[in-house]
Amino acid sequence: MSENINSALGAASDYDASQIQVLEGLEAVRRRPGMYIGSTSSSGLHHLVYEIVDNAIDEALAGFCTEIFVAIRDGDVIEVRDNGRGIPVDTQEQTGKSALDVVFTVLHAGGKFGGGGYKVSGGLHGVGASVVNALSEWLIARVHRDGKIHEMRFSRGDITQELTVAGETDRTGTEILFKPDGDIFEDTAFIYDTLKTRMREQAFLNAGLRITTEDSRPGQETRDEFAYEGGIREFVTYINRNKTPLHEKVIYVSGEREDSMAEIALQYNDSYNEMLLSFANNIHTPEGGMHETGFKAALTRVLNDYGRKTGALKGEDKLSGEDCREGVTAIISVKLTEAQFEGQTKAKLGNSEMRTLVDNTLSEKLTIFLEENPSIGRAIIDKAVTASKAREAARKARENIRRKSALEGMSLPGKLTDCNESNPALTEIYIVEGDSAGGSAKGGRDSRFQAILPLWGKMLNVEKARADKVYGNEKLTPVITALGAGLGEDFDEAKLRYHKVIIMADADVDGSHIRTLLLTFFFRFMRPLIEGGYVYAAQPPLYKLTRGKTIRYAFSDDERDAVSSEMRGEDGRGKVDVSRHKGLGEMDPDELWETTMNPETRILRRIEFDDAVRADEVFTVLMGEKVEPRREFIEHNAKYAVNLDV
Ligand code: TTJ
């Protein structure tokens, strides 16, 4: 609320000419960092690194840089180095300043997250170095060029040391060190894995570029190197590494037109999932756009034509787009001069010429590929035809359920204890493991807005099932009917009966298992449910602390210690009894309400997937059929597997 008031005031003062000056400088960035980096949370913090690295990648795209080094230093200082030409340091006639000075002190127009319709970039990226500078407690820029090391220093965007020669060198390149401003960011701790994943992705997207990442913070020292001669072909191999490919060779095609180029790599696997990742100028476009549209249209057309020609498709039979994409892992990467990013999060490519380029490239070259590789063609077309038949079976299963519910009236599952409120925005459903926990939940809930659905027995692992199997499944049907929004392509957010879907399971291995099974189900068959932020995990307490008549609960080891010493209070002799909470079923209804279900006191964890590749990997490995990757995953993520937090 106060933020709205502030921005309203800001807007009013925009009329003041002197204010405009200030607002256009880096001060504007410090006043509204969210406009430039999305947020001041962990995601915004990591965005700083990407903005800097993007500049070095541009130098690589220009053909002058082959290596980039990214490190997290002690104190969460970031170091980025490249071996490019180095930012020019001679004085420019127009400005009387060096390019180095301008890059770090002048705010470039059109922030990526600003109000403008789209980002227009002359090069491929390059708006952000001054934004990073403005949001850093300090920043040091060093340029190795003409045998000298040139250095400039800044603090919160202001120059603290003008350009000086700080030494001699026998190489060229740019080197940036910065410490994000603790006054701006909620938390300045970098997550090495997050940077590593992003840098790996960038190495895949820029074939031949070597990116090294390092964490040198005491106690977490580690280093990784990413370099892929095969580029996005190897990206596909990487994503499919824990899956079973239908053909050995990754299909790769590329095409150019004027200043633009498109490349596509794809490989089918024996799963039922589609993994489509698209990029424009190395920027991930999770909302898709023209390049994805072109890909889908071409793939569907080519496979239908091929199926008809080879006789795999008979009569009036047609493959849908979804049939053609079942089990495919594909990367689409386009590079263009004036990328237009649209949509809510500016994550959708708007350039229609990219639809044509991708469509033409894929149509022409995939047709040739299939003709030259008939055994691969056979495997792909068989997969799509089977998918089409299964989809037809699923449609019939769905029809049956619809007809049945029309005859018997809208029947909710017998096990569901519904709530009184009917406005979905106000209601919650607890999906509870086991009948006894279900009983306690029923007794403890607030029946006005909380519904309870107990699940018991062995649940279907949907990782290896198509929609037709899921429809008839007696364990999953109650979940589908209770939520009321349908499944797969038919899923309709508007029909959702509860806007909070809360999985309540014990904090042990069995609880983790049921949580994982349900999340897999939601991820594969009701993804908008997760993307819409409707899914939560309840957090039952881990410890119960008793002293006399006082009872308190703790949700972590740290909290247990803190609460325990608090309860002991001034008196060093008082005894606090600490017991490990065993299971939901062992809590009485009042206890369950107080610790886990009461909106005033409970802790809910929203389930979010910020990285589709990572989420796909977790589910493939945990629920797929390959044993070895699962064993390794669980060994390496012991904590993670017990308390799945994807
Ligand atoms: C610009 O055109 C003349 C030759 O140098 C070009 C240039 O600026 N190259 C360049 C910039 N290489 N690397 C950068 C760079 C690297 C990092 C890590 C950060 C920034 C802001 C720029």
**Per-residue DSSP letter, 521:** H
Look up residue 458 and give its amino acid.
Answer: K
Residue 88, ligand 1, Cβ within 6 A: yes
**Domains of the chain with CATH codes:** 27-226 (3.30.565.10), 232-391 (3.30.230.10), 412-540+605-640 (3.40.50.670)
Kindly report the protein residue whose alpha carbon is nearest to atom 22 of ligand 1: 55
Task: Report pLDDT for 616.
Answer: 84
Choose the catalytic residue: 151, 234, 263, 433: 433
Task: Report pLDDT for 285.
Answer: 94
Ligand 1 pocket check: which of 65, 85, 131 to mutate, most ligand atoms within 8 Å of Cβ? 85
Cα(424) to ligand 1 centroid in Å equals 53
Percent of the chain scoring above 70 in pLDDT: 90
Task: Report pLDDT for 486.
Answer: 87
pLDDT at 379 over 50: yes
Cα(21) to ligand 1 centroid in Å equals 27
Ligand 1 atom at minimum distance from 59 CA: 12
Active-site residue flag, 506 = yes
Task: Please report the DSSP string for 167-183 in residue order.
Answer: EE-SS-EEEEEEEE-TT
Helix or strand run (H / E) with residue 517? helix 509-525
Residue 103, ligand 1, Cβ within 6 A: yes
Task: Report pLDDT for 120.
Answer: 34
Helix or strand run (H / E) with residue 597? none
Model confidence at 321, pLDDT cuts 50, 70, 90, reads very high
Model confidence at 435, pLDDT cuts 50, 70, 90, reads confident
Average pLDDT over residues 520-529: 91
Tell me how far the alpha carbon of residue 412 is from its chain's centroid.
Answer: 34
Model confidence at 644, pLDDT cuts 50, 70, 90, reads very low
Residue 70, ligand 1, Cβ within 6 A: no
pLDDT digits 0-9 by tens, 79-121: 999 999 999 999 999 889 999 999 999 987 533 333 332 233 3
Task: Report pLDDT for 395.
Answer: 86
Ligand 1 pocket check: which of 58, 59, 107, 212 to mutate, most ligand atoms within 8 Å of Cβ? 59
pLDDT digits 0-9 by tens, 453-491: 999 877 888 887 888 888 778 889 899 999 999 888 789
pLDDT at 6 over 50: no
How far is it, in rounded angstroms, from Cα 355 to Cα 608? 31
Model confidence at 17, pLDDT cuts 50, 70, 90, reads very low
pLDDT at 436 over 90: no
The pLDDT mean for the chain works out to 88
pLDDT at 22 over 50: no
Model confidence at 494, pLDDT cuts 50, 70, 90, reads very high
Locate tokens 């099974």: which residue? 517
Task: Report pLDDT for 25.
Answer: 82
Cα-trace Rg, the chain: 28
Q: Assess contact for 514 and 433: CB atoms under 8 A.
A: yes
Active-site residue flag, 433 = yes
Average pLDDT over residues 504-528: 87
Residue 80, ligand 1, Cβ within 6 A: yes
pLDDT at 646 over 80: no
Task: Report pLDDT for 117.
Answer: 27
pLDDT digits 0-9 by tens, 136-155: 999 999 999 999 999 999 99
Note the pTM of the prediction, 2 decimals: 0.82
Residue 176, ligand 1, Cβ within 6 A: yes
Q: Which residue has the higher pLDDT, 628 or 243?
A: 243
pLDDT digits 0-9 by tens, 571-610: 686 789 998 877 888 888 999 999 999 999 898 988 887 6
Task: Please report the DSSP string for 312-326 in residue order.
Answer: SS-TT----HHHHHT
Ligand 1 pocket check: which of 98, 172, 174 to mutate, most ligand atoms within 8 Å of Cβ? 174
Residues written for the chain: 646
- Cα–Cα nearest to 181, from 144, 217, 228, 133: 133
pLDDT at 20 over 70: no
The DSSP bridge partners found for residue 179 are: 138
Helix or strand run (H / E) with residue 532? none
Model confidence at 634, pLDDT cuts 50, 70, 90, reads low
Average pLDDT over residues 358-367: 98
Phi/psi at 98 (5° precision):
-85, 160
Q: Assess contact for 110 and 36: CB atoms under 8 A.
A: no
Active-site residue flag, 510 = yes
Cα(55) to ligand 1 centroid in Å equals 6
Task: Report pLDDT for 83.
Answer: 98
* Three state DSSP letters for 448-515: CCEEEEEECCCCCCHHHCCHHHHHHCCCCHHHHHHHCCCCHHHCCHHHCCCCEEEEECCCCHHHHHHH
pLDDT digits 0-9 by tens, 252-274: 999 999 999 999 999 999 999 99
Q: Name which of 17-21, 339-343, 590-594 the model is least confident about.
A: 17-21
How far is it, in rounded angstroms, from Cα 53 to Cα 196? 12
pLDDT at 37 over 50: yes
Cα(56) to ligand 1 centroid in Å equals 6
Task: Report pLDDT for 408.
Answer: 64
Model confidence at 637, pLDDT cuts 50, 70, 90, reads low
